A and B are shown apart, each in its own frame.
Chain A
Amino acid sequence: MRYGMAIDALKCVGCSDCVVACQTENNVPIGYCRDWIVEKTTGTYPQLQMEIRSERCNHCSNAPCVRSCPTSASHYGKGGIVLVDENACIGCKACIASCPYDARFIHPEGYVDKCTFCLHRVEKGQDPACVAVCPTKCMYFGDLDDPRSEVSQIMKKRKWKTLIPEAGTSPNIFYLI
């Protein structure tokens, strides 16, 4: 089993609902976030293109944060979800420095925090909070190893890309383009 997410950049309007839903779901303190919006415009007026993306930890299969963690606080959990054991974390920031996606931050309580794919919800059979709330329904979550899962199906139908593939991290977040 390998959990992953496909995000349809053609539908995302960048409303930040995923950000605030994550914050309230996971008690992320105000001023911090586990997911965020990126907007990229190219071209010159009026020949313009814009891509809007909801970004978060890529839950890489080859995660530099896991490799660089001196205490094994960063580890692979169920379905390959990259997690931080906050009790084992010493706040050394080696993982923050190694993450090419800037997906981690130091929680005010001293440990490193990041997206968990809402494991507590996933275990109950629910979608992560960001997926469940998205008004444009632009996010698909599920088991990439299961060819019948919604996320596997949509990735078969559509063109997609990953972020910074040259980093060789094998990310599990895919952007439908």
Chain B
Amino acid sequence: MSESMDRRRFIKISSTFLGGLAFTAPLLSNSIGNMIVPNPESRISGLRTPTYCEVCFWKCAGWVEHDESGNIKKIIGNDEDQHSNGRFCPRGTGGVGMYNDGDRLKNPLIRTTINGKQEYREASWEEALNYIADKLKAISEKYGPDCIALLTHGSGGSYFGNLLKAIGSRNIAAPSYAQCRGPREVAFIGTFGEGIGSPERTDIRDTRCLVLIGSHIGENMHNGHVQEMSDAIDKGAQIITVDPRFSTAASKSNFWLPIKPATDMALLLAWIHEIIYNEMYDKKYVDKYTFGFDQLKEHVKDMTPEWAYGITTIKPDQIRETARAMANASPSVIIHPGRHVTWYGDDTQRLRAVAILNALLGSWGRRGGFYNPEKAYLPKYKLPEYPKSTRSWRDAFPGQFKLADLALASGICDATIPSVDDKCSFKAWIVNGTNLITTLPDQKNTLKAIQSLELLVVVDTMPMEITGYADVVLPECTYLERYDSIRVSGHRNPQIALRMPAAEPKYNSKSAWWMARELGLKMGLGAYFPFKTQEEELDWQLKNMDSSLEEMKRIGVKTFPREFDDLYIDENDNFEFNTNTGKIELYSTSFEEEGHSPLPVYTAHDEPPEGFYRLNYGRAPMHTFGRTSNNPNLADLMDENSVWVNPKVARDWDLKNNQYIWLENQDGIRSSFPIKVRVTERIRFDSVYMVHGFGHDSKKLTQAHGRGASDSELISKVLLDPIMGGTGMRGNFVTFKFKAANMEKNT
């Protein structure tokens, strides 16, 4: 055990170069790094190539414009694209920085021990992939293929997913579920029989009242939504923002409710009370489509605005006035479900309250509420049947999280740590495009799981922290250098978008499609990878959906007519919902079956101890998580985060604007790096706020290393959602320290 603990020392990607060939490689790649390698194809096909963006999950489709010699000049939106309406956000506009970043991973790396010291050495693709294939085969034979897991974010997931299923494992998870939007999906499936999806099906463009609860549109740069919110402002829509922080959205709002953190459920229940008992709900809709109204009415009987005032600090008049504003706009009202909603552990129930409120106001399936999205049908080539998978991550959690409709990244992580009664702790992870060290809460736990692995393969474009724990690091080319799956996300109209290479892959990087296929071939699974090139695969798919690769290279985005239902529910239709009762379940029978409360209940959450403040975190419009903080173009817009402190708190602690301090959480974890203080009225006195994604400790991220502090490392307490396993992260409290942890020990 001690040997295996030692085996995976964090290596800050300081590769040792062995042999003559490997020694020349970095010199060569450095010189290539300063040149832009034009894609010969782009020269032929004109001055622009289509893409869809991979800087965030919104996947806006656009054009990469080239100069006369074929070099990438800039990236702009495609006017036909429903995600961007022809306008890219700052991250998409600055996406070229991802391609130009000199810190990119350049060659495959294999962990090795030289004179007792762990190092990475550069390897050829052949060697790296053989190493992985041999290990995967050995692990599969020894423990069963189910002991291999894929943890993924982004486009490469589908290719590695195919590999995993071909090997015989279905343990494929994305942190975007249990660490982000999972509770929302489960709550809406439990209520309407359908989830929200991405991009969210909110009809903000035509809404008359938009309610944002902790959702900071404008700072979260969910492109289409930011655009539609601006359109809604133009059309005079009312905006109600609930946030302990005066967010950008709050500053655009007609009503800002500066709620006490962790009490949103009480406000939601009081709104439900107010709307029911003042008969402000959509009676016809509720009668026709919903189940359990009487139980709900009885349930919220005592949850008056006065009751909620004592909990939320929001005045009863404000609760009443905002409830009226919502009802006046009904059914063109959106109580926005948000996206990152894993806050306090009762998140699924909170989102149930959001769903119920929308149902009462009749906004689901109505103009200005929630539309019915439609997806283009993407033909799938018939592959041989995958081997049966017998064991799942769920086996580690008997009787728990049954309503989780997708796998939990945190669940796989927890199940990797060996326990006595465990048949199969995970033995190998393939980690694609997600920096698990910062995406999963409780870093100590993540590291414990990593130390228990026999193989960790990390695929990334950048030397993120997770790469330092890998046995093999595979350098992926950026989205500007590769094809990917056809984008088919549901929207107002079925639409497809193509991503194609705008340049040859820099350095020795390769696409996920190629890596997964090569591994498949080496493992004797070639039958699951029938296409020799990605062009061939895409062309086959596109020709089976009334297009072709040739056409898509020319137009980038193609829209199809809707085939199934209308954008909104036809009120003369007897619409049947995909729930047990066929109705919108105000009272959830599926929750009841699983032993959870069928109606949302208010629970009081822990409050910060004296001298501590609740740690709230969020987004900045020019960054996506921690993955853009090293992007030269985007770091130029914002190169570190700050901790927002109310002036009263600053006075108590004698904190000055722009002063650097350290944050320490309730478990004594101090930030590795200092963070700048921002004294501002925009934050409540009982909490602090910081933008997520800074404070990187990977030294190979030369721009981002040590800039700002990491909220992730301060999130050691996890509030687990018993319904679907979401990891609530807003139950952590911090205080201010004036020295680094190691300096304190020395004095």
Contact = CB atoms under 8 A, between A and B. Distances in A.
Interface of A: 10-11, 13-17, 19-21, 23-25, 30-31, 33, 41, 43-46, 48-50, 52, 132-138
A14 B93 contact: no
B286 interface: no
Given A15-B90, A46-B256, A52-B248, A136 B230 contact: yes
14 contacts: A15-B221, A15-B621, A16-B637, A16-B638, A17-B621, A20-B94, A23-B636, A24-B73, A24-B633, A45-B646, A133-B87, A135-B223, A136-B226, A137-B227
A37 to B, nearest CB: 9
Interface stretch (B347-355, B429-437, B680-688): B680-688
Nearest to A49: B251
Contacts of B621: 13-17
B93 A48 contact: no
Given A15-B226, A45-B246, A133-B87, A24 B219 contact: no
A15 B622 CA distance: 6
Contacts, number: 117
A25 B231 CA distance: 26
B471 to A, nearest CB: 35
Nearest to A23: B633
Given A11-B234, A45-B646, A133-B88, A30 B681 contact: no
Contacts of A21: 74, 90, 93
Contacts of A14: 218, 248, 621
Given A13-B218, A15-B622, A45 B74 contact: no
Nearest to B88: A133
A93 B223 CA distance: 39
Interface residues of B, number: 45
B96 interface: yes
B251 A50 contact: yes
Interface in B237-262: 246, 248-249, 251-252, 256, 258
User: Which of B621, B632, B634 has the most chain A CB within a 10 Å cutoff?
Assistant: B621
Contacts of B646: 45
B691 interface: no
A67 B231 CA distance: 41
The 3 closest A-B pairs by CB, nearest first: A13-B218, A15-B621, A136-B230
Nearest to A18: B90
Contacts of A133: 76-77, 87-88, 93
Nearest to A15: B621
Contacts of A50: 246, 248, 251, 682
Contacts of A23: 633, 636
B681 A43 contact: yes
A45 B637 contact: no
B233 interface: yes
A41 B247 CA distance: 11
A11 B622 contact: no
B701 interface: no
B248 A16 contact: no
A43 B251 CA distance: 12
B93 A17 contact: yes
Contact of A19 (B73, B251, B637): B637
Nearest to A33: B636
A97 to B, nearest CB: 25
